[in-house]
Structure 1
Amino acid sequence: MRVVRVFWGLCLVIALFLGGSEAVAGQLAERLASFPHWHKLVVQVAQGDLVYPDWMAGSWNVTSTLVDAVAPLAPEIVSPGFESNRQTLQQPISFPVRFEEKKLFQSRSFTPTTIQSGVVADRAFNGLSLAKAYLGDAVIAVKVDPQSPNRQITLLKGDRQLVSIVSGRATETPGENQFITTEVFQQFFRTQDSRPYFNEVESTTAYHYFPQSQPTITADQVTAVYLSPQDPDYFAAASRPVALYRYRLEFTSTEDRGSRSSSEL
């Protein structure tokens, strides 16, 4: 059960699922600035892959550091694993991730299918890398639904599964070298000998690109955990999160960025 609690508390440090709609100007930036005074954010239904800025393309080593952890409804309501997660404050964890250019197919009602290229996350690779960084050998595999980039299953030892489904998201582009995204996940953990555990997770991340520096990309990320309707404290919590985790992310390229840029000309 300890592994389950750590996994829920740490949630998804990087938004690895994709597709989005443009948010009201400044809404996501203002949300980050208001930490820890958060309530549920209303976003559009997630469709397709999120297209990242071109400067996200490539292979990176990410260092993630939990810099703050808040339980807004404590002591009355505290999410499982919150206290143990607090023990990881200021302890950096590193793992590799990849973002790649792919052809994207978009189809809407009464309109023909269109094809365009864009930079998206390598969801299976990133998901496995992230899970192993936090849970080690407890992780067997991470699988992405071939029919939907918004559904991912993490297989754990002991016949346990964590299912994550992206239900909504939004993005903002405040400037040429800035990108903000919010994704809302419906997650449930299931085993053979106990009933599934449900909750809702929101991850809001602001990326900043510094082309001449290392780390090349830094990010401010807040992960909010909300109770599901199945939880007995659901109505008491209402639209407020039961846990908030704030991370500092640093992306260091594992490629020769100069050679990459030249080859793309």
Structure 2
Amino acid sequence: MVAMRSIWSFCLIILFLLGGSGKATAGELSERLAHFPQWEKLTSVQPASGDLIYPEWMAGSWQVTSTLVDLAAPLAPDIVTPGFESNRQQLNQPVSFLVRFVLEKPTVTGLKLIPKINNKSSILIADRAFNSLNLARAYLGDEAVLSVKVDPDSPNRQITFLRGERQLVSIVTARSTENTSDSNFITAEVFQQLFKGGSRPYFNSVESTTAYQKLAQSSPAITADQVTAVYLSPQDPDYFTADSRPAALYRYRLEFFPAQVPNTPQE
């Protein structure tokens, strides 16, 4: 059986593999990261539409090491999210998995064509099915995760199928991006999670801000600072008491090392 605390840890990091475009107010995202754990609700996000377009320096295949380096419960002791205390065991415990970012021709989003980048005919996006499958198996084990399916009509919706007829549905609803320099790229996403297959469905809202930095002639080649905020579900009796404040905050360090991976998603 898949442990719920493992599913919870996996839910927290799946964000950076999803996403879409949208511009943040200049400096807002970097300011949020600088003021951890004093976290305020993100105000500049826009409705999710289309893929997140990554900078060219993230192209290719990567061995990612993710490490939980800090966590906080701003509303404790009155309100503590499920799994928060058990997640302390994940502190400073690296988890590794393969990801890749691939070129794709721009597509029409609504009535607007996604623009070319530097006059090139392709944009760089995450291989969501491949990345999420590898991440899920790294956290939950190969036998626990059956497959990951991305909605063909929306890159912002995907389902992770787990053994025992369980499913994790993840839907990106809003996001922002910020470029502070040619070697720095910051994203913020808000998404809804629905875990089905337990005694009752569990729903929550998660917001994550991730700052990627390209390093010059270094290993790792890219690092990222990620803060994930967990908000209570409307079904939680303390939902109105929380008053839109995060009930849990998790800070991760991501390191990207060049890797060679297969050309087709793993099944």
Q: Contact 1:11 / 1:201 at 8 angstroms: preserved in 2?
A: no
Q: How far apart, CA to CA, are the structure 2 residues paired with 1:66 and 1:123?
A: 22
Bigger Cα displacement from structure 2, 34-43 vs 118-127: 34-43
Q: Contact 2:72 / 2:250 at 8 angstroms: preserved in 1?
A: yes
Q: 1:63 to 1:113 in 2, by over 3 A?
A: closer
Q: Contact 1:10 / 1:85 at 8 angstroms: preserved in 2?
A: no
Task: Give, in angstroms, the shift of residue 254 of structure 1.
Answer: 1.3
Task: Give, in angstroms, the shift of residue 185 of structure 1.
Answer: 0.8
Q: How far apart, CA to CA, are the structure 2 residues paired with 1:104 and 1:8?
A: 34
Letter in 2 for 1:158: G
Q: Contact 1:106 / 1:114 at 8 angstroms: preserved in 2?
A: no
Q: In the alignment, what sits opposite 2:161? A: 155
Moved over 6 A (4+): 112-115
- Asked if 1:107 corresponds to 2:118, the answer is no
Q: Contact 1:107 / 1:114 at 8 angstroms: preserved in 2?
A: no
Tell me the secondary structure at the aligned position of residue 199 of structure 1: strand
Residues 142-197 of structure 1, C-alpha deviations (whole Å, 9 max, x = no match): 11111110001011111111100000000000000000001111011111x63211
- Asked if 1:253 corresponds to 2:258, the answer is yes
TM score, norm. by length of structure 1: 0.90
5+ residue gaps, structure 2, are 261-267
Q: How far apart, CA to CA, are the structure 2 residues paired with 1:11 and 1:38?
A: 20
Q: In the alignment, what sits opposite 2:62? A: 60
Letter in 1 for 2:26: A
Q: 1:166 to 1:122 in 2, by over 3 A?
A: same
Q: Tell me how many residue pairs correspond in the alignment.
A: 253
Q: Contact 1:218 / 1:248 at 8 angstroms: preserved in 2?
A: yes
TM score, norm. by length of structure 2: 0.90
Q: Contact 2:67 / 2:254 at 8 angstroms: preserved in 1?
A: yes
Q: Contact 2:106 / 2:113 at 8 angstroms: preserved in 1?
A: no
- Asked if 1:37 corresponds to 2:42, the answer is no
Q: In the alignment, what sits opposite 1:122? A: 127
Tell me the secondary structure at the aligned position of residue 130 of structure 1: helix
- Asked if 1:236 corresponds to 2:241, the answer is yes
Letter in 1 for 2:172: V
> What is the percentage of aligned positions where both structures have the same residue?
64
Tell me the secondary structure at the aligned position of residue 67 of structure 1: strand
Q: 1:112 to 1:152 in 2, by over 3 A?
A: closer
Q: Contact 2:2 / 2:144 at 8 angstroms: preserved in 1?
A: no
Q: What root-mean-square deviation, in Å, do the aligned CA atoms of Structure 1 and Structure 2 show?
A: 1.8
Match among 176, 180, 198 for residue 186 of structure 2: 180
Q: 1:10 to 1:240 in 2, by over 3 A?
A: farther
Task: Give, in angstroms, the shift of residue 113 of structure 1.
Answer: 8.2
- Asked if 1:214 corresponds to 2:215, the answer is no
- Asked if 1:76 corresponds to 2:78, the answer is yes
Match among 222, 225, 235 for residue 230 of structure 2: 225
Q: How far apart, CA to CA, are the structure 2 residues paired with 1:18 and 1:171?
A: 10
Letter in 2 for 1:239: S
Q: How far apart, CA to CA, are the structure 2 residues paired with 1:112 and 1:209?
A: 28
Q: Contact 2:63 / 2:257 at 8 angstroms: preserved in 1?
A: yes
Q: How far apart, CA to CA, are the structure 1 residues paired with 2:10 and 2:88?
A: 10
Q: Contact 1:142 / 1:153 at 8 angstroms: preserved in 2?
A: yes
Q: Contact 1:9 / 1:82 at 8 angstroms: preserved in 2?
A: no
Match among 133, 147, 151 for residue 141 of structure 1: 147
Q: How far apart, CA to CA, are the structure 1 residues paired with 2:228 and 2:22?
A: 19
